[in-house]
Amino acid sequence: MADGWRRLLEEESEHQWLSIGVFFVFVLTGAFAIGATEHFVGASVTVANAAHDGGLVTEIAYHPDSEAYTALVYAPEAGYHFFTQDIDQGTVTNIYSPDTVDRGAEVRFVKTMPDGEVLYAVQNNQLIGLQGSTMVVYDYPDTNGVFGINDAAERHEGGETHRLLLTQEGANTSLRGVVGMTPTHPMSTSLGVQWNQIEAYDDGLWLAIGTHFSTAGADGSSPASPQSRPVLGWVAWDGSASTPVIAKVQTFDGGVFHSVAFTDDVAVVGGTSQSVVIHGLDSVETLDAPCAAVVSDTQNKVWFIGQPGSNTLSAYGNDRLTTYVLGRPLPVEVSSFGAQNDHVHIHGTDGEGAPIQWSIDITANGSIESGRGFLNLLYLIIGGVVLATMLRYAVIELRRPA
């Protein structure tokens, strides 16, 4: 090909203009072909070789250092099953099941901590931790009251582990720190907010998301249905026996905040009407990216999972939001999600209410195996050969004696 192009360039000037014209046609054709493969590659319904296949995954925690996960799965005919599966070793360890200990319906949350321990809660004043094949029960005394545990977060500082609990205090929610095995008193006020999730954010600073319910009719809404608004709360607690306190609250208009994910040094909060990026205590960026879930992958990027039927998929990384066009509409209504190795896994139901798993291969889009990646490579190779041949002939012509 290179020899033919060289001979064409060496002929009369009209042939040289013809070669340049052919090159421009090649550029336009290549651009059109690459544009035609703009759909996101790597997202598909997964045929899972997993114990949860056929059931609805309501809670799942992926283990960071293995091919294992802990899941709470519901099937209409069987009830709730709670188990850990290690795909590498081919083992399934039952924790609760209708045939043995039937407490799966009482599980309040399942969550992986920074050190890999999976925590869950079933009864008041108690957490249970799973570390590999070891189960640890954390029984907290009721000296400072009886409370349920709806969520937990941990941060390692100075060789110590600080654990903050999101607690159910009767009809209200609050936060308690844990010192040793003793919980602190709950926060003195929750400012009318029902807190839904707690995450470690910085030394002595924690991030909570929740919903504020205004006094009936006070904001102009119907007294029968007071307006609710999503809330961010920054909680100050340094690991001591002091009670956690709200350092700052920021209220937004409309929708619900439902999940928190992290990338670099920022936190991303997903919402049904808007999402936000938290760069610091006094720096919150609003994104026009409503979603059903945000989830961090293993390559420092946050994915925004939309509602069923959505034709786009967004990702946030390096302080930039990127939106991709899906080849097929999003098929899943989200119930739970997580990331492991090179995949983000979304669990939920399809349009007919059947359990489904939809997964994103974070390495596939733009790879050589994808149509777009292959065309990009082919385009660069052929274009490089053509340009190198033209440049070589130009140099020869410049050096030729007059």
Q: If you average pLDDT over residues 5-32, what whole number do you get?
A: 52
- Output the furthest CA–CA distance in the chain (Å, rounded): 100
pLDDT tens for 299-310 read 999 999 999 999
For 27, list phi and psi in degrees, rounded to 5. -60, -50
pLDDT tens for 86-142 read 988 889 999 999 999 999 999 999 999 999 999 999 999 999 999 988 999 999 999
Task: Say how far apart CA 132 and CA 116 lie, in whole Å.
Answer: 9
DSSP states along 326-382:
ESS----EEEEEEEETTEEEEEEE-TTS-EEEEEEETTTTTSTTSHHHHHHHHHHHH
What confidence tier does 293 reach under pLDDT thresholds 50, 70, 90? very high
Q: How many CB atoms lie within 10 A of CB 282?
A: 7
Helix ranges (H only) for 249-370 are none
What is the residue extent of each domain of the chain?
2-34+376-399
Q: Contact 287/274 with Cβ under 8 angstroms?
A: yes
Task: Say how far apart CA 297 and CA 224 lie, in whole Å.
Answer: 42
Q: What is the pLDDT of residue 273?
A: 96
Q: Contact 169/176 with Cβ under 8 angstroms?
A: no
Q: Is the pLDDT of residue 386 over 70?
A: no
What confidence tier does 222 reach under pLDDT thresholds 50, 70, 90? low
Q: What is the pLDDT of residue 12?
A: 47
What confidence tier does 37 reach under pLDDT thresholds 50, 70, 90? very low
Q: Which residue did the predictor score with more confidence, 232 or 369?
A: 232
SS3 content of the chain, % helix, strand, coil (to 5): 15, 45, 40
Q: Contact 155/138 with Cβ under 8 angstroms?
A: no
Q: Contact 41/372 with Cβ under 8 angstroms?
A: yes
pTM: 0.81
Nearest residue to 169 via CA among 153, 180, 152, 185 = 185
Strand partners, 296: 302
Q: Is the pLDDT of residue 401 over 70?
A: no
Strand partners, 85: 69, 92
Q: Is the pLDDT of residue 393 over 90?
A: no
Q: If you average pLDDT over residues 18-41, what whole number do you get?
A: 55
Q: How many CB atoms lie within 10 A of CB 259?
A: 23
Q: If you average pLDDT over residues 203-210, what whole number do you get?
A: 96
Q: Contact 363/373 with Cβ under 8 angstroms?
A: no
Q: Contact 187/148 with Cβ under 8 angstroms?
A: no
Q: What is the pLDDT of residue 220?
A: 56
The alpha carbon of 62 is separated from its chain's Cα centroid by a whole number of angstroms, namely: 12
Q: Which residues contact 270 (CB under 8 A, 6 or more apart)?
A: 257, 258, 259, 260, 261, 291, 292, 293, 294, 304
Q: Environment class of residue 225 by beta-carbon count within 10 Å: exposed (0-12), middle (13-18) or buried (19+)?
A: exposed
